[in-house]
Structure 1
Amino acid sequence: MPILSIDIETYSDVDLTKCGVYAYSDSPNFEILLFAYAFDEKPTQIVDLACGEQLPERVLAALEDPAVTKAAFNAQFERTCISKYLGRKLSPEGWQCTAVQSAMLALPLSLDNVGEVLNIQRKKLKEGADLVRFFSMPCKPTKANGGRIRNRPEDAPEKWERFKTYCIRDVDAEREIRQKLWKFPIPESEMELYRMDQEINDRGILVDQQLVENAVLCDNQYRQMVTARAYELTGLSNPNSPAQIKGWLAEHGVEAEKLDKKTVKGLISETDGEVLEVLKLRLLMAKTSVKKYEAIERSVCSDGRVHGLLQFYGANRTGRWAGRLVQVQNLPQNHIPDLELARTLVKEQRFEDLDLLYDSTPEVLSELIRTAFVPKPGCRFIVADFSAIEARVLAWFAGEQWRLDTFAEGGDIYCASASKMFGVPVVKHGVNGHLRQKGKIAELALGYGGAVGALTSMGALDMGIQEEELQPLVSQWRNSNPHITKFWWEVDAAAVKAVKERTEVVLGNLCFTYRSGILFVTLPSGRKLSYIKPRMTQNRFGRESLSYEGVGESKKWMRIETYGPKLVENIVQATARDLLAQAMLRLRNEGFEIVMHIHDEAVLEVPDGVSDVDEICRIMSEAPDWAAGLPLRADGYACAFYKKN
């Protein structure tokens, strides 16, 4: 199959990093400046569109031909921009993304960084960032540049020639990366998921723009009112300044080392009068309700929809999707019972009524963010999500039968866990119901080898659990889940053996293989997790442990330590991802239109009266052949705007 490698340089007055490629290319001022391409192994050619050159007929024909593979690094950018340039949407069919191919080996997500890690010969040119800033973005008008707002080829001919060289080099770098990774092609099963992902991003999701605009307006007005009151009470030049507020509090007999939410809430319970009011105002001023509304405003396109909210294989350790632009994967939850009323008050600019009816305007605005996403006229949303998916997958891998039985019978895992840990029946809102909370915190914190530190960071002490209870909780949970505890160390031993002996180790429905300097973990779905350049090193406790090279917490390429429970976390989360991906594929093949998905949840835009929630949940709950014996369950609900049920 012929391959057309592509890289383009573009101009838009919209900020690509803040607004995404769909809004970027949707601007009336968008244009493609340079189009570099190469067929198969032939030399790279450049078409200077900005200076009037035209794309050759062969290239135009190849763009429309699904039999020609179009390859690019972050191919979504090229496909979306070229679609805009041609005036017709190019199907994801026939497109291949080298960034995805790299991510599947847990390599970095940028062309520059992948080139560095693979040590390719034709690396991305370092001066490229300056050239992109010069030609691809608006510039400030000055006397020196004659008051122009953008730079064109004729404004700097020598720079323009270097820009063309840079564009050509990107095609060469992408091709060299692809050649280095030829042993590890993207499997067709993942290509099918990639095409589905591109369809979902192309479809986008509709935004209630009136709600968004008024939420920003309401927040601004409320913030001005709160700040004015803080000025009045304190007399400070800037009552938003932590240093000034700390000084004012000290003058009023209150010493505060920090002014984070937790500290301020603690001080509120110990103060009264003006100090109490200032601390409450501090909490209100610190609440950032509108950043996501502003992100929606920036990213919405002329069709009223936001596109490109999720990046395929964005979390490259597990292959999960990563949130982009609005970060829908960490939207605030909604708990107020009358969301419809609150939405109406904001949409009608009845901000005084909102303040009168609710304790905290910023909190209400925060809870309404989800509801900014709405179905198109004549449709409703059906939201369906897997119930306790990670807990189910972990129990299935480890063979923890009592947990599998609990799930199969539709039981409450937190009650069942507490019952197992404490040896008494536990019923939610019933007998020994107070123990459910301990079961819940243990379930959330301890499944991947967590101990006292994990319980603390999950907020166990804030929930009223005493410090001396933490270690016994860890022991009780592990004793209640012997198969899971054993599974952690079986995975550890299998990975270590595969690396030390350069061999293949089968553990149940998992396979650990060392090949080409990479530790592969083959999941039940057939997909592989990758750990590059694994070797045995000494950990911080002075013991031998497994490590590998990857993108660390600092976003830099580094050596990372791992061990059994951490590998189990990767394996479970990756398998949960595969289950959601397969469920979405089944839904899509049944004709349903997915507009968004978050972790273990799919959001569908369904015509009124066409389908019911039960049918969608049934489709989601079907276990693939490779997941026999895994008790899946999906729950769902219909809604007129996106919300948590």
Structure 2
Amino acid sequence: MVKGGDYLTRLLCDIETYSAADLPSVGVYRYTDDPSFEIILLSYKIDDADVETVDLTEQSIPEWFLDALTDPEYVKEAWNAQFERVSFTRILRRLKRLGPDEWLDPRQWRDTMVQAMELGLPASLKQAANYLGVDQVKDPRGVRLIRYFSTPTKPTVKQPESKRNMPADAPEDWELYKSYNAQDVRTEAAISDKLAAIKTQAHEWDLWAMDQRINDRGVAVDVPLADGAIHIMEHANAINMAHLKTVTGLDNPNSLMQLKQWLRDQGTPMEKLGKALVQEALDSGKLPPMVADALETRLKLSNSSTKKYLMMEDARCADGKVHGLLQFYGASRTGRWAGRLLQVQNLPRNYLPDLDLARSLVKAQDAEAIDLLYGDVPDVLKQLIRTGLTASPGHRLVVCDFSAIEARVIAWYAGEEWTLDAFRTHGKIYEATASQMFNIPMDRIDKQTRQKGKVATLALGYQGSVGALKAMGALNMGLTEDELPELVDKWRNANKHIVRFWYDCQRAVETVLSGGGVVRLQKGLMFYKRKGFLFIKLPSGRRLAYAKPRLEQQPDGRSHITYDGQGDKVGFMRLDTYGGKIVENIVQATARDLLADAMLRLEAGGYPVIMHIHDEAVADVPDGFGCATLCVRQSRGPRACR
């Protein structure tokens, strides 16, 4: 690696660890914050040298390696590098080589997983290695060895207390574990070398470093609120479970098999018991009273939103904060972030008029008063989840966001001037859309017509049709199914430039896949194929990538655009796309780039971001600094509004 004419040493590493905390449940920050945490194996590779493995149950981490962790002349590299970086931070803090609030500088690290995800490849090391067909493949025995040496045993009747398995308990397996650790480094190196021909932009590494700093900062938790909510939840769940047992007569109403059989016995069979389906059955008013009672009670027991309070408790570190709430490139290809642990990108909204009173009652664990005042204890707990994430002592949270960012971006790309004019002036996009669709002056748009404009704006921008309107809740907004086809037609007639943009993008991809070359569209969009990937270059300079794209002929004679990608519930598979979906990727990726650059400017202006939600950034700033409304568009950085 060369930077500024100086050679930088590449230090590729992989570790195996032990902790009593459950990594998938609480995340890497809480996992490594546990007093039991330690690194038990370290394998590393310097430049092109062979892999070396250090058994840390017998030796210490070499001094030179500890020095290298803070030396900018070494570029540290790993697959999912956050794990290694946070783990080594904890070790260096114990050794007093870092202060209690210091973190290893993410600017000195590179994450091979990010390189793969930017190309739309699997986030799993094993899957990525297999897909790329590298010479070095991940050892499949790792899962068993990790379970044996890196996690405590589960209590059993014969062994009621969990214990830790040591190398001496299974010496042959321990040697296999060391081999597994070393093989991971070889696999990571092989993948990194394979991907080196398609370099990740330096700007993306700046954004990854910012993401790491955001996760390092963490978000403070209102502990009394979380504790009060957990107490109320547990008490309510005990009452509801007892009631459900009484109503159904079942020993274990949580058993889907038992509950489904009970429903069949009542003459109301239900093959699926998802929340939406159960609520739909209850809303129909056709269920027998006893069945309705049982299902309503079950819904109260399955309120997953309030379980976020348990996550606040379980994932909270010793500093009183929850860290690691966001995953860089969690949405593969578009580069958008994904939520982790608390899923801050999916927090319930609150509409309570007196939040302070409701919060005080939860902290006092006064479920009776909550029930008397609000009538729905679970709903109150659900609405207060957002308020459980707080500013640091002596600080306050400052929130800034982009308004209707995707609607603005797609109109900008397509040149839909009436939409852009609406945003430049009054900003009432739903009313403007309805006016354009139905040829009605804006001042005569009633509530029902506005609803049509709203659902059309939200559902139809990416070539969606009747199904998209239904998925967006059109039927719950008072619209009838017969109205939906006309709504689609009117929206498309009102947005001819956006419709043209769908087909322009589809033709651009088809042209590149059938004949090669480069196709240029408006706003600097470029479509081309290179090294087995379809690339779409965005105005930011970043590229969307589609692996192994091709045109596949269908029986009807038409060709479909297909590529390899991550399925919804299964692994890597063949997927198909079309103009509207391609536009969705372009728009969402561009919106992501805007948010990412805005967060860099916020940080430069003294507003340290601690979390962000789609088009909204949240900063933790000292009391008296700046203001609650920020201008983030200025090239010189954010400034407080006057």
| Same fold? TM cut 0.5 | yes
Give the deviation of 1:146 after TM superposition.
12
Secondary structure in 2 matching 1:290: helix
RMSD: 2.6
Structure 1 distance, partners of 2:235, 2:161, is 36
- 1:71 maps to 2:81: no
Q: Which residue of 1 aligns with 2:15?
A: 8
From 379, 390, 396, the equivalent of 2:412 is 396
**1:26 corresponds to which of 33, 58, 80:** 33
The amino acid of 1:347's aligned partner reads K
Counterpart CA distance in 1 for 2:292 and 2:49 is 73
Q: In structure 2, which of residues 278, 291, 295 is the aligned counterpart of residue 261 of structure 1?
A: 278
> What amino acid sits opposite 2:608 in the alignment?
E
Structure-2 separation of matches of 1:47 and 1:221: 49
Could you say which residue in structure 2 is the equivalent of 1:572? 587
Pairing 1:454–2:468 present: yes
Residue 358 of structure 1: how far off its partner (Å): 1.1
Check the 8 A contact 2:435/2:442 in 1, yes or no.
yes
Task: Assess if the C-alpha contact under 8 Å between 2:152 and 2:162 holds in 1.
Answer: no
How do 1:38-77 residues align onto structure 2 when only pairs under 5 Å count? 38-51=45-58, 53-77=59-83
Report if the CA contact (8 A) 1:240-1:285 is conserved.
no
Aligned to 2:539: 524
Q: Out of 113-122 and 542-551, give the one that drifted further.
A: 542-551
Q: For residue 324 of structure 2, what is the aligned residue in structure 1?
A: 308
Distance in 2, Cα, partners of 1:470 & 1:27: 55
Offset, 1:476: 0.1
2:347 is the alignment partner of 1:331:
yes
1:187-241, Cα deviation, whole Å (9 max, x unpaired): 1111111111111111000011221122121012112223334455555555556
One-letter identity of the residue aligned with 1:49: L
Corresponding residue for residue 117 of structure 2: 103
Q: Judge which range, 53-62 or 278-287, deviates more.
A: 278-287
Residue 138 in 1 paired to residue 144 in 2?
A: no
How many angstroms does 1:246 deviate by?
Answer: 7.1
* Aligned counterparts of 2:361 and 2:258: Cα–Cα separation in 1: 35
- TM-score where L is the length of structure 2: 0.92
Question: How far apart are 1:293 and its partner, in Å?
Answer: 1.5
Alignment correspondent of 2:127: 113
Q: Normalising by the residue count of structure 1, what TM-score does the alignment of the two structures yield?
A: 0.91
- Whether the 8 Å CA contact 1:425–1:432 is kept in 2: the answer is no
Q: Which moved more, 1:218-227 or 1:545-554?
A: 218-227
- 1 CA distance for matches of 2:550 and 2:45? 39
Give 1:76-475 correspondences, 5 Å limit: 76-87=82-93, 88=98, 89-140=103-154, 149-232=163-246, 235=249, 237=251, 260-268=277-285, 277-278=293-294, 280-427=296-443, 431-475=445-489
Aligned residue in 2 for 1:630: none
Q: Distance in 2 between matches of 1:557 and 1:182?
A: 22
Q: Is the 8 A contact 2:316 2:322 kept in 1?
A: yes
Describe the shift of the 1:233–1:24 C-alpha distance in structure 2 as closer, same or farther (beyond 3 A). closer
Paired letter, 1:451: S
Alpha-carbon separation, structure 1, partners of 2:167 and 2:254? 46
Does the residue aligned with 1:602 lie in a helix, a strand or coil? strand
Q: 1:539 to 1:589 in 2, by over 3 A?
A: farther
Call closer, same or farther: CA 1:143–1:352 in 2, change over 3 Å. Answer: closer
Distance in 2 (CA, whole Å) between partners of 1:426 and 1:274 is 50
The alpha-carbon deviation at position 464 of structure 1 amounts to 1.6
Structure 1 regions of 5+ residues with no counterpart?
Answer: 626-633, 638-645
Who is 2:502 aligned against?
Answer: 488
CA distance in 2 between partners of 1:190 and 1:128 (Å): 31
* Separation (CA, whole Å) in 2 of partners of 1:155 and 1:253: 56
Is the CA contact 1:3–1:68 (under 8 Å) kept in the aligned structure 2? Answer: yes
Aligned with 2:619 (options 574, 582, 604)? 604
State how far apart, in whole Å, the 2-side matches of 1:121 and 1:110 are: 17
CA contact (8 A) 2:534 2:549 kept: yes
Kept in 2: contact 1:264–1:279 (CA 8 A): no
Structure 2 match to 1:643: none
Q: Secondary structure at the match of 2:304?
A: coil
Structure 1 residue 249: deviation in Å? 7.3
Q: What do the CA deviations read for 1:383-431 (whole angstroms, capped 9, x no partner)?
A: 111100000000000000000000011321110000100010244xx64
Quickly say closer, same or farther: Cα 1:450–1:150, change in 2 above 3 A: same
Rounded Cα–Cα distance in structure 2 between residues aligned with 1:157 and 1:291: 41
Spell out, residue by residue over 1:439-470, the C-alpha distance to the aligned partner (whole angstroms, 9 max, x if none).
Answer: 11111110000001111121212222111111
CA distance in 2, matches of 1:250, 1:497: 56
**Aligned in 2, Cα 1:255/1:613: closer, same or farther, shift over 3 Å?**
same
Give the distance between the partners of 1:250 and 1:160, measured in 2 at CA. 52
Q: What CA deviation, in whole Å up to 9, does each residue of 1:58-114 have, x standing for no partner?
A: 322221111211011111100110111121231112111111111111111111111
Cα distance in 2 between the residues matched to 1:250 and 1:106 = 45
CA displacement, residues 530-556 of structure 1 (integer Å, 9 cap, x when unaligned) = 011111113586521111111122331
Deviations 1:234-271 (Å, cap 9, x if unpaired)? 55555556777777778888777765333233244x57
Deviations 1:347-377 (A, max 9, x none): 1111110111112111111111111101011
Which amino acid is 2:194 matched to? K
* Partners of 2:508 and 2:527 within 8 A in 1: yes
Q: Distance in 1 between matches of 2:162 and 2:310?
A: 29
Unaligned ranges ≥5, structure 2: 1-7
Q: How many residues align?
A: 622
Residues 1:283 and 1:94: Cα distance change in structure 2 (over 3 Å):
closer
Query: CA 1:495–1:254 in structure 2 vs 1: closer, same or farther (change >3 Å)?
Result: closer
CA distance in 1 between counterparts of 2:585 and 2:92 reads: 42
Q: Mark the CA change 1:305 to 1:542 in structure 2 (over 3 Å): closer, same or farther.
A: farther
Asked whether the 8 Å contact 2:19–2:38 carries over to 1, the reply is: yes
What is the CA distance between 1:288 and its match in structure 2? 3.2
Structure 1: how far apart are the matches of 2:68 and 2:79? 18
Describe the SS at the equivalent of 2:11: strand
State the 1:286 CA deviation: 3.9
Cα distance, 1:138 vs structure 2: 0.5
CA distance in 2, matches of 1:505, 1:121: 35
Q: Does 1:547 align with 2:562?
A: yes
Cα pair 2:550 2:562 within 8 Å, conserved: yes
Contact kept, 8 Å, 2:431 with 2:445, in 1: the verdict is: no
Say whether the 8 Å CA contact 1:342–1:364 is kept in structure 2.
Answer: yes
- What amino acid is aligned across from residue 163 of structure 1 in structure 2? Y
Specify the SS of the correspondent of 2:165: coil
Q: What is the DSSP-based 3-state SS (H/G/I as helix, E as strand, rest coil) of the residue aligned with 1:50? A: coil
Deviation at 1:3, TM superposition (A): 0.4
Aligned partners of 1:264 and 1:283 also within 8 Å:
no
Give me the whole-angstrom Cα distance separating, in 2, the residues matched to 1:30 and 1:275.
48
> Is the CA contact 1:539–1:561 (under 8 Å) kept in the aligned structure 2?
no
CA distance in 2, matches of 1:100, 1:404: 35
